[in-house]
Structure 1
């Protein structure tokens, strides 16, 4: 028995080592020497993992389009915080220090991993959140500000996830002086009166606790006032966005606060609203860590901050069922919306998906699910509605692992494998995306898998 096991290992180790070398060689061969991003050329290295599909999204700036749902929502929030300075236009290319270190992310935080973030090279990356510019904006001296940007994260493929999305961050800075305290108390009184007269029910948590502490560098009383101002301000925002839309006009808006953890705030909270029968997370927030204020050269001030994803809220308010639609250039989508108005999206196409499976032996190291998802996006674009791993098998002798992924192909604008007669009746001028075309798309995915990762298809 020992001899059999020993011989199996002799076979297994060279095979797995070969797979690993082949994977690394295939990646290196597919990497261009430079990347051109937003008109500027950057050298690549072993850390480069940004794909052409992501490069294509740079500079689209959906949040600046006044008739786009993302732009409409941005404008509505900016109108609510009308005395805040609105920022946009920061380059999405930042250093890892700016994106992580300045905000207190630990060295082993998973967000730093190549599987989670897009790196241009070892020294530059695409921002993963608007907070990458937090220190910079604080240092400008704005006491009230909003910042809207596109952000980039490697992610799965389905109707609610996309590797490019949009965030809005807001912050308000108060002095620790008596003048700052007076300003806080006056604002808290104003907001409290407004909410007391509104149709809203708030499920709150303590302003701080042993598990969600106020940092010792802050005076407790002042920090408590700050947290109260944060909660009142964001409850008012929730009322502006969701009031009268979460149910019948007579039903109160329900808002729930939950303790949370973020590296750059303490205490930290998440805010949820009860919308159409379920609780939905809307944003994260908290008191900004003193380290950030020191880096911005305002060590004696205190600030709260919040961050929210515009797509998440827009999908709820506009009833948009698929996140890919935000990137559509189809006039049937774009012409449904007008600046300043939240209207319900009217679907113009929803055709059955056509799925194909692909199985291959996984390299022993280095390949992540997000690598597969990015390759699919890069090959077929938004024709991939979702990608799921549906099976995993480990060979009992060689210990090689095989995975099977199911790719659902569905166009938002064309028919995918719909019977010809029904297709013609519905729209005689449309062109069907045929089964042969889906096969061609899928063959392209398989070819890219072999070329880029050196995998062995089963």
Structure 2
């Protein structure tokens, strides 16, 4: 009989399952009221006295083995239930990740950079908190110059010479101070002006400004560069340059493209003229070159600038500039298919 008990001990040790029903059947078979252990305990009184000690030890070992096996498997199965309840069914396929999208401002900025990089322009960047010299004075805007009123500026109250840059021309000044001609660079970035926020204007917006300085640079070079850009960006091959005034360029001009009058939207955004202003340009004023340590007798150059928001509004037919800054997911998800 002792040998039979040892066989049951080996069977209990070898038992494995991940099924609650199988575990319950095992428990009833060994530990139930009509189970194997109960039969052995009932047979204890028939065992010869000289074998009772060994018999009792073996039966207790079987009891402990069966109870330990049941407890271990129960703990394991309960742990599995907790994991499934907290994390879900780990055997199921994972949830698909939502595809992100670039902001329309980033899309347009990257496209502009790509276009100008194909004709040799590199990208330069500078601080958004500027000093008076780089933002105004070096650009032919000395203190009390009336043209400063053209740009409503955010000044840092603790230091009137420190301000939030009103254009990325300040980056061009820094670039000219640290690099010798030939210079061919564009400066995209965020700028700040103390303006009322409306559907057409904002106190925060983005610009990209270009600068080319070398020997014998002419206005014709400027016009050809802008024509190339408008063809690549808008698919438009007709531009016009209207005389204008900027303190840091002379002569200066506004750049218009012929948008056309094919749709009602075209009439609305061009006010019925078919022409649309996209930026300003001009030949770099010799005083600006001198302020930056460049010989204006040897070198000439041109500069241009345009608003990225305005271009994005044209390309994507967005009617309110404030939508760029509201972080509305419904608006941003429309650009998932864009590159």
* Category of TM-score, reference length = shorter chain: 0.5 to 0.7
Say whether residues 1:234 and 2:226 are aligned partners. yes
**Structure 2 partner of 1:71:** 106
Q: Residue 94 of structure 1 aligns with which residue?
A: 130
Partner of 2:316: 318
What displacement does 1:91 show? 1.6
2-side partners of 1:286 and 1:114: how far apart?
17
Matching residue of 1:285: 281
1:218-260 Cα offsets, whole Å, 9 max, x none, are xxxx45xx1101000101101111116xxxxxxxx43221111
Give the deviation of 1:156 after TM superposition.
2.1
Distance 1:145 1:115 in 2: 24
Which residue, out of 84, 95, 99, partners 2:121?
Answer: 84
User: Which residue in 2 is equivalent to 1:8?
Assistant: none
TM-score, reference length from structure 1: 0.45
Residue 274 of structure 1, CA deviation = 2.4
1:17-166 equivalences under 5 Å are 67-82=102-117, 83-88=120-125, 90-109=126-145, 112=148, 116-121=152-157, 122-141=160-179, 143-166=183-206
1:217-296 matched pairs, under 5 angstroms: 222=216, 226-243=218-235, 253-275=237-259, 276-277=266-267, 278=270, 279-296=275-292
Query: CA contact under 8 A between 2:151 and 2:166: conserved in structure 1?
Result: no
Residue ranges of structure 1 left out of the alignment (5+ in a row): 1-64, 176-221, 245-252, 342-458
Deviations, residues 22-53 of structure 1 (Å, cap 9, x unaligned): xxxxxxxxxxxxxxxxxxxxxxxxxxxxxxxx
Q: Confirm or deny: 8 A CA contact 1:111 1:117 kept in the other structure.
A: no
**Does the Cα contact within 8 Å between 2:219 and 2:283 map onto a contact in 1?**
yes
CA deviation digits over 1:339-372, x for unaligned, max 9? 865xxxxxxxxxxxxxxxxxxxxxxxxxxxxxxx
Task: Give the distance between the partners of 2:225 and 2:150, measured in 1 at CA.
Answer: 37
Q: Rg: which structure is higher?
A: 2
Matches within 5 A, 1:290-369: 290-299=286-295, 300-338=298-336, 341=339
Q: SS at the partner of 1:81?
A: helix
Instruction: Go from structure 1 to structure 2 and tell me whether the alpha carbon gap of 1:93 and 1:281 turns closer, same or farther (over 3 Å shift).
Output: same
Q: Distance in 1 between matches of 2:305 and 2:175?
A: 14
Q: Report Cα offsets for 1:252-311 as digits up to 9, x if no partner.
A: x43221111110011111111122242211011111111222232221322111011111
**Is the contact between residue 110 and residue 116 of structure 1 (CA under 8 Å) also seen in structure 2?**
no
Aligned-residue offset at 1:150? 0.7
Report if the CA contact (8 A) 2:101-2:333 is conserved: no
User: Matched residues in 1 for 2:116 and 2:294: separation?
Assistant: 23
TM-score (norm 2): 0.60
Q: How far apart, CA to CA, are the structure 2 residues paired with 1:174 and 1:301?
A: 5
Q: Give the CA deviation at 1:105.
A: 1.7
Indicate conservation of the 8 Å contact 2:168/2:208, yes or no: yes
User: Secondary structure, in 3 states, of the residue corresponding to 1:123?
Assistant: strand
- The secondary structure found in structure 1 opposite 2:287 is helix
Distance 2:151 2:234 in 1: 35
Secondary structure at the residue paired with 2:224?
helix
Matched residues, number: 220
Q: Is the 8 A contact 2:188 2:207 kept in 1?
A: yes
Q: Distance in 2 between matches of 1:334 and 1:303?
A: 39
Shift of 1:170: 0.7
- Measured in 1, the distance between the counterparts of 2:244 and 2:176 equals 23
SS at match of 2:256: strand
Alignment CA distance shift 1:80-1:95 (3 Å): same
| Aligned residues: CA RMSD | 2.3
More helix by share: 2
